[in-house]
Structure 1
Amino acid sequence: MDSQEFRRWSHQAADWSADYLESLPGRPVRAQVEPGQIFRQIPDAPPEAGEPMERIFADLDRVIMPGMTHWQHPRFFAYFPANASPPSVIAEQVTAAIAAQCMLWQTSPAATELETRMLDWLRGMIGLPEAFSGVIQDSASTSTLAALLTARERALGHRGNSEGLFGQTPLRVYASAQVHSSVDKAVRIAGFGDRNLVRIPTAGPLFGMDVGALRQAVEADIAAGLKPAAIVAALGGTSIGACDDIAALAEIARAHDIFLHVDAAWAGSAMICPEHRVLMRGAELADSFVFNPHKWLFTNFDCSAHFVRDPKALTDTLGIRPPFLRTLGAEGFVDYNEWSVPLGRRFRALKLWFVIRSYGVEALRSMIRDHIAWSGELAEAIGREPDFAIVTRPILSLFTFRYAPAGTSEEERDRLNAGLVEAVNADGRIYLTQTTHEGRFVIRFQAGATGTSREDVLATLAVVRELAPRAREAASRAA
């Protein structure tokens, strides 16, 4: 492809992208295909000769798009958002064209220095103190792994990296069941082992860790000759939005020299609104804090902001500098590959720069505030419905509810709600997911997509009200 063809098809891609975003309200939110349907339309072997771009774009529409779930749809209320926005998409185009590998300062000084400044901006936007330094990771999962690896090495006096974990005192990690499953995975990868992830019961309206139970667990482990290494606090847990009392956890962490990591992957973006920072009280005492601008700050995946109080502890854990990765003849620089698990690094800071400058912080606050207000309005409306019940009240823009018609048992309601979720998602007008709470199947709602309006949010009530009786009829026939 020569430069003229590249120019032509880049314009075509931009037009296609704008048309796609404009078309989203008329598309079903979740892909309406069967397993294997897309796979069977793709040839068994690659072409020997190149194919024209016209044919490739035609197959994009014909083969690929029917199998896509539309994460930028204004009625995507499932999981957490993986937001894009026009400025972020444009920045990704530029990033792809530059195609820099930003592993070292010398491999693109601007990428490194912009990343440093963007993390300074984000830190100030959410109210973390200047004592924290930041790095952009690909996901909160990677950030949590990096945090737990650092906690492991701090607890072992850096003997884990040098000597291995065999024969070391067992290390303990404490968290509630409300933390993301990435914590379980990080515990395995970091070598703690499943049996050393201690689940602390929750209490209170925000379903945070029972602080007294945590203190007892830590003291019991110390008495048993085990070594407490890390506490993982949830700030906006994935299931129901649970928030731990970070200040109380920090008190225990400091008393016993335990590493405190705060996972605010989703909710951290809402901390740009000062009125919500009560949820992060005590985060200034943490050792590590992560949130994902790619969830609720309208910046394309992947972009996870990982803040640490002691960068040296992180780089001593993850950093390896062979001769071929050294920058000669320069001082005062950062090599961010030493802050991350992978060596290779994308130029992720550019899209943050585009988004924050294009919108301005106040417009970003306004969108988040709207999502929270509209979600609360929907929860109140569902709560007034005779056949529905709010199970967990909104925490920011996340709440759960349950179809609970009179005269049905809790077990029947589990089946009815499972059927309702499937009916809703097959219908295509909105997209919801489920979770369990206190052993019961509940429907989970969150608002946060870039293009979502109040009307989109409130349409949820009409859809579930319409489809609930059908789900009940289907369950009766199946019985």
Structure 2
Amino acid sequence: MPDHTDRTSGDWGPETLRAALEAAAEWTVDYRQRVGGLPVFPVVEPGGVRRALGDRPPREPQSFERVLADFDEHIVSGLTHWNHPGFLAYFSSSTRAPSIVAELLIAAVGVNAMLWRTSPAATEVERTAVDWLRQAVGLPASFSGVILDTASTSTFTALLAARERAGTAVRTDGLAGGPSLAVYTSEQSHSSVEKSALAAGLGHRAVRRIEVDDAFRMRPEALEAAIAADLAKGVRPAMVCATVGTTSTASVDPVEALGAVARRHGVWLHVDAAYAGPAAMVPEQRANFRGWETADSIVLNPHKWLGTSLDCSVLLYPEAAPFRASLALTPTYLESEDDETNLMDIGLALGRRFRGLKLWVLFRCVGTDGLAETLRRHIAMAEAAAARLVDGGVFELAAPVSFSTVCFRAAWAGDQATGDRWNREIMARVNAGGRSFLSHTELGRRYVLRLSVGSVHTEERHLDEVLDALHRAADELSPGEPG
């Protein structure tokens, strides 16, 4: 690659930029072809990557060839490869090829979509992409929304709106002297609900963890009782958070029944569908989402199961006014009469990436039928894997299979501590093999393994491989003396 770098400023000329882009493109295509052969989880010591990178910044510009070589040698070797077909831990954030190209375009134009006038097309592309997603998952036309970074931010933004609607006038007077507020969510919900309560100034004690049934779904009668108890104590209910696709088990809260409880008490209903929300694109999965159209806010993450690159979390709502009431603030230097919609009014951030472009490109290049078929295939693979897993009696399901997530453990009739230790060692051995990566959770105080299909690169043969590894590890390890 010719080196036309300005030695004073470090800027690249057109030829150098073109050559660097070509080199990066070649590397990207090669990486996506070979990632399946890399260890999904790196073998590195803490601090090892930092030591390889050096402790001082370079004073002089260096060639991109050298930078790319160091990236490949020192950084890629220290990555957990979320695009690996054997990545079955957590909820996958794999990346479809069109999203990679879209990220390049986003970086190339470098716009800030805080106001309509700071880049009209960026605002209107985002609104279009969000509406396409709204249509694809079957929500009514009354819903609109914005794209934020992660579900944690989306839930926090919803809680701020719910806090304001609860009548505390926090925007004007702050929290001091106001009524105590409560947030209701299930024992299985994501920790972002609690973190949002902390960030919103409500405190950890404001969060009510509502008990679940045998299928790990929030119990509506328990929610009703918790709200009644708080009202009797003078505590004001602020938000109910129902989950469609909980983190541990992908369980589905009965949103319709929970929404009825929330409406009776005038409480904001937020639906966390960050992982499973895209599955509403599959007609046979639509029943899992019954009642979510009555929510005051919904979050779903295209960067999880749709293959859009991080970060892309969509916050949907039937009314924008409550969100603007909690956070909208326009200084004089940003005022304008020609603005149609200022998306900065919804959310804490002023600056906004052109995230809508990659969602728009995804729809254009894959189509809703293609997206739905991928989801349907992942669900089928998870169900088939669960059936094979329990065949023979070595493993048992720890929760009903939901969407593309399987919770299981090696069956052990003896004491729980030994059984937990055995399962922990089985997972450690499978993960150490470098071909597959599983995660764990705790259900009923038992150590449970998780397998979640979500990578756009995962095929049936990769599930065959992890199932073989699990059975092999169970055979090799003695329950009485694991490891």
What is aligned with 1:180?
190
Match of 2:360 among 341, 353, 358: 353
CA 1:103 to 1:477, structure 2 compared with 1: closer, same or farther past 3 Å?
A: closer
Match of 1:66 among 65, 77, 81: 77
Letter in 2 for 1:467: A
Measure the CA separation in 2 of the matches of 1:405 and 1:133. Answer: 49
Does the alignment pair 1:429 with 2:439? no
| SS of equivalent residue, structure 2 residue 107 | helix
| SS of equivalent residue, structure 1 residue 443 | strand
- Report how far residue 310 of structure 1 moved: 1.4
What is aligned with 2:310?
301
Match of 1:313 among 322, 327, 333: 322
Measure the CA separation in 1 of the matches of 2:283 and 2:329. Answer: 39
What is aligned with 1:284?
293
Letter in 1 for 2:58: P
Measure the CA separation in 2 of the matches of 1:36 and 1:418. Answer: 26
Does the alignment pair 1:226 with 2:232? no
Measure the CA separation in 1 of the matches of 2:396 and 2:105. Answer: 47
Measure the CA separation in 2 of the matches of 1:409 and 1:327. Answer: 69
What is aligned with 1:150?
161
Match of 1:386 among 362, 387, 393: 393
| SS of equivalent residue, structure 1 residue 208 | coil
Q: After TM superposition, list the pairs within 5 Å mapping 1:62-461 onto structure 2.
A: 62-157=73-168, 159-205=169-215, 207-328=216-337, 330=338, 333-405=340-412, 408-461=414-467
- Report how far residue 204 of structure 1 moved: 4.5
Measure the CA separation in 1 of the matches of 2:157 and 2:409. Answer: 37
Measure the CA separation in 2 of the matches of 1:43 and 1:200. Answer: 49
Measure the CA separation in 2 of the matches of 1:319 and 1:304. Answer: 20
Can you list the C-alpha shifts for 1:346-400, whole angstroms capped at 9, x where unaligned? 0001111111111111111111100000100000011113321111121010111
- Report how far residue 471 of structure 1 moved: 4.2
Query: 5+ unaligned residues in a row in structure 1: which ranges?
Result: none
TM-score by length of 1: 0.96
| SS of equivalent residue, structure 1 residue 38 | helix
CA 1:477 to 1:300, structure 2 compared with 1: closer, same or farther past 3 Å?
A: closer
Measure the CA separation in 1 of the matches of 2:65 and 2:182. Answer: 57
| SS of equivalent residue, structure 2 residue 91 | coil
Letter in 2 for 1:476: E
- Report how far residue 226 of structure 1 moved: 1.0
Letter in 2 for 1:224: K
Measure the CA separation in 2 of the matches of 1:240 and 1:20. Answer: 32
Q: Structure 1 residues 303-312 or 15-24, which shifts more? A: 303-312
Match of 2:481 among 455, 476, 479: 476
| SS of equivalent residue, structure 1 residue 457 | helix
Q: After TM superposition, list the pairs within 5 Å mapping 1:24-39 onto structure 2.
A: 24-39=35-50
- Report how far residue 411 of structure 1 moved: 1.2
Measure the CA separation in 1 of the matches of 2:222 and 2:234. Answer: 19
- Report how far residue 476 of structure 1 moved: 2.4
CA 1:37 to 1:470, structure 2 compared with 1: closer, same or farther past 3 Å?
A: farther
Q: How many pairs are equivalent?
A: 472
- Report how far residue 156 of structure 1 moved: 2.0
The share of aligned pairs that are identical, in percent, is 40
CA 1:381 to 1:477, structure 2 compared with 1: closer, same or farther past 3 Å?
A: closer
- Report how far residue 47 of structure 1 moved: 1.0
| SS of equivalent residue, structure 2 residue 147 | strand
TM-score by length of 2: 0.95
Measure the CA separation in 2 of the matches of 1:338 and 1:78. Answer: 36
Measure the CA separation in 2 of the matches of 1:230 and 1:276. Answer: 26
- Report how far residue 33 of structure 1 moved: 1.3
What is aligned with 1:463?
469
- Report how far residue 299 of structure 1 moved: 0.7
Letter in 2 for 1:17: T
| SS of equivalent residue, structure 1 residue 203 | coil
- Report how far residue 298 of structure 1 moved: 1.3
Q: Indicate conservation of the 8 Å contact 1:31/1:69, yes or no.
A: yes
| SS of equivalent residue, structure 1 residue 127 | coil
Q: Indicate conservation of the 8 Å contact 2:425/2:482, yes or no.
A: no
Q: Indicate conservation of the 8 Å contact 1:374/1:458, yes or no.
A: no
Letter in 1 for 2:134: R
